[in-house]
Structure 1
């Protein structure tokens, strides 16, 4: 079958890519990752391929079109990937359609209805709905698989991009920039969870830019803290310390970012073996967190929950190989599993098990260490970017030829290879 001639379709791919602030190479990487995530096999695509698709050289095949609709959260018609004698309507003014993400998060129909009823192009009802959606998604981060959460966050960002093209008052525009900054930051966090680091870096740049335009230092500080966390998961501990300290310098004194960044400094220092700096950071976190009340939504990713302080202490002590870490990690795990600190937090439970397992491995209790690590890895709550925390436990167990070694290795490899990441 002959390829369709140029001009028989009118792609809007470049417009959608610009909304996400991605390069053509980054789009190619994301398309490959989506093909793997959805079991579609290998997708041969490069930045040059994306460029040809955007220029309308030829209509992409169905395998490519399927990944484009997933990446941009739009139908083939809205992306212009259909043969037609008339061009489809431009992106501006369109509302991106629902994806297969959890419908509990879907507020787009309500937003669109509110906008049509408002007297201005960007009404307060629409802005309030977006702000509430950003909070709901930040709360959902704790218990929602990242591959499910990401399309919903991305779809909200697309809607905000459309609203930024409309007329708005200065106050309305600032609110759009702020909610866009929070959602870009959350999307970057989820991208890091999925090991989609080039996309995450682009989103962090966008979040920082939006926050700086809005004069929102809390978001700027969270962006630095998120970069520090990313560096930590990549085992670049010195960079993690530097970025954590940069976040503290920028952060407002009365926000959550300064506490989280200080805790991140302590964890990175512990990985460097700097006992003094790690414990000093823990002491500073305790001074800042102890007067705080439990927030209304303790699961909110960007609101510091004082209960985290004990968990960070447990992590730091386990990474310092301090024997006191066992009591801390067991206490943290018991509190999380019982819901004593307000609700269940499955991701925190899983990472607390890894902290306990690492501590037990250091103390020579390898049987229980293996058991705790296996439960954590099989819980489905350890995302690919966190799997590295189990590596030392696996090594310790395999070196001593513990009975559970084979099962632990199998669970560990399954996480490492999740979504095609090794």
Structure 2
């Protein structure tokens, strides 16, 4: 193989290209043939450099036109066994193509705008879901789970259909995700009422996912609240603590969800026997009481009566029956001041807490009387049944053979939570 001879003058010589060709061991003529091979493989049969052209590139420093710098780099990469770039040869890289202004550019821009605002939804689709959420949360306290479930599930499926099978704008998509999340929180509460813990977790997770997509932290907070409540009544206080902490981390400041979750955290600490944790949480909640209504019913609302009701349970778990008695009485008074129907579940739980306080304070007959009153509720859901069993066990432990306790025991055992 003939070695290329170095050019006599290097005043304008492309030293990088000269060295690269020299290291291949090829003459300019042989190298030119290799370049032709590369060009033909790239479909450029019109590029046929000879030894003279190679000499001009090397000795005279001429810069070959595009795409020859890339072809030279590809040829030397093949011959030398490693990647060579045009810059390594002292040659420019091919310039990036400049997009020409397309004809009809304005039409293209108008098309973009039409697509981002196009929607197959009617003006009522999202409004109907919003109204459904409002109605369900209003009637939830007075309707049985079996009455609530069909409507809630029908609207949740409708939200799914609109979100995933109908064209909508990005803004509409976020609103649909918000309504879907709220409907799933309602379904989680209904599942909690019938002690379907698996369904509670599933719908709460679904609500949280849609809340994230809707950029609606309050949906996520309400989802964590129902998880915390379900875990607490299922004797899983550590799970409840985890859920309440997560919810409180995202709940909008001073919102009903934030205040409820703070109160929730307090009663969970009490259930765990953490006096300091409860006192700290209760103080934070008490500072927010002036911002709340005294008493109002419905899901996604929290009020002064709710604070007292939560505290009644907490004081009992902490062994402070006098305080439990006082806040339970205050809570019951507020619930009874509500219009007909009101909040029967919350009223019954407050009455059961009052009965437990009476038992702890040495008033078993009053505990039985208040217990009977609590179980006359027309909405005996799982939470009431759980708290009633606690009352029965507490009376049997404290006052064995108590007259009248047997009737209450039979009433407790006969409870069939409404489905």
Is 1:226–2:234 an aligned residue pair?
Answer: no
Which structure: larger Rg? 2
Instruction: Tell me which residue corresponds to 2:176.
Output: 176
CA distance in 1, matches of 2:381, 2:315: 23
Instruction: Tell me which residue corresponds to 2:125.
Output: 126
Task: State how 1:73-88 maps to structure 2 within 5 Å.
Answer: none
CA offsets, 1:265-321, max 9 Å, x none? 1111111221221121111111123234569xx323112224322322233223323
Instruction: Tell me which residue corresponds to 1:199.
Output: 199
CA distance in 1, matches of 2:212, 2:188: 17
Task: State how 1:400-415 maps to structure 2 within 5 Å.
Answer: 400=399, 401-415=401-415
1:140 to 1:392, Cα distance in 2 relative to 1, 3 A: same
Instruction: Tell me which residue corresponds to 2:285.
Output: 285
How far the C-alpha of 1:373 sits from its partner, in A, is 1.2
Gapped runs of 5+ residues in structure 2?
Answer: 1-117
CA distance in 2, matches of 1:243, 1:327: 29
CA distance in 2, matches of 1:236, 1:305: 25
How far the C-alpha of 1:264 sits from its partner, in A, is 0.9
Is 1:354–2:388 an aligned residue pair?
Answer: no
Is 1:338–2:345 an aligned residue pair?
Answer: no
CA distance in 2, matches of 1:194, 1:287: 34
Runs of 4+ more than 3 Å apart: 292-295, 417-420
CA offsets, 1:140-162, max 9 Å, x none? 11111112111110111111122
Q: Compare relative contact order (CA 8 Å, sep 6+) and give the higher one, 1 or 2.
A: 1
How far the C-alpha of 1:380 sits from its partner, in A, is 2.8
Instruction: Tell me which residue corresponds to 1:216.
Output: 216
Instruction: Tell me which residue corresponds to 2:18.
Output: none
How far the C-alpha of 1:419 sits from its partner, in A, is 6.5
SS state at 1:307 partner: helix
- Whether the 8 Å contact between 1:266 and 1:278 is mirrored in structure 2 is yes
CA distance in 2, matches of 1:126, 1:271: 44
How far the C-alpha of 1:382 sits from its partner, in A, is 2.8
Task: State how 1:258-297 maps to structure 2 within 5 Å.
Answer: 258-293=258-293
Total equivalences in the alignment: 298
1:398 counterpart (396, 400, 403): 396
CA distance in 2, matches of 1:335, 1:306: 9
- Whether the 8 Å contact between 1:321 and 1:359 is mirrored in structure 2 is no
TM-score between the two structures when normalised by the length of structure 2: 0.67
Instruction: Tell me which residue corresponds to 1:363.
Output: 361
SS state at 2:124 partner: helix
CA distance in 2, matches of 1:167, 1:327: 56
How far the C-alpha of 1:343 sits from its partner, in A, is 7.6
Instruction: Tell me which residue corresponds to 2:162.
Output: 163
How far the C-alpha of 1:179 sits from its partner, in A, is 0.4
CA offsets, 1:42-94, max 9 Å, x none? xxxxxxxxxxxxxxxxxxxxxxxxxxxxxxxxxxxxxxxxxxxxxxxxxxxxx
How far the C-alpha of 1:398 sits from its partner, in A, is 2.4
CA distance in 1, matches of 2:221, 2:334: 29
CA offsets, 1:154-202, max 9 Å, x none? 1111111221210111111111110000000110111011111222222
TM-score between the two structures when normalised by the length of structure 1: 0.66
CA distance in 2, matches of 1:390, 1:196: 19
CA distance in 1, matches of 2:260, 2:417: 28
CA RMSD of the aligned region, Å? 2.2
1:419 to 1:331, Cα distance in 2 relative to 1, 3 A: closer
- Whether the 8 Å contact between 2:189 and 2:226 is mirrored in structure 1 is yes
SS state at 1:124 partner: coil
1:316 counterpart (314, 317, 329): 314
Moved more, 317-326 or 272-281: 317-326
Moved more, 237-246 or 176-185: 237-246
Gapped runs of 5+ residues in structure 1?
Answer: 1-118
Instruction: Tell me which residue corresponds to 1:16.
Output: none
Instruction: Tell me which residue corresponds to 2:186.
Output: 186
- Whether the 8 Å contact between 1:189 and 1:226 is mirrored in structure 2 is yes
Instruction: Tell me which residue corresponds to 1:137.
Output: 136
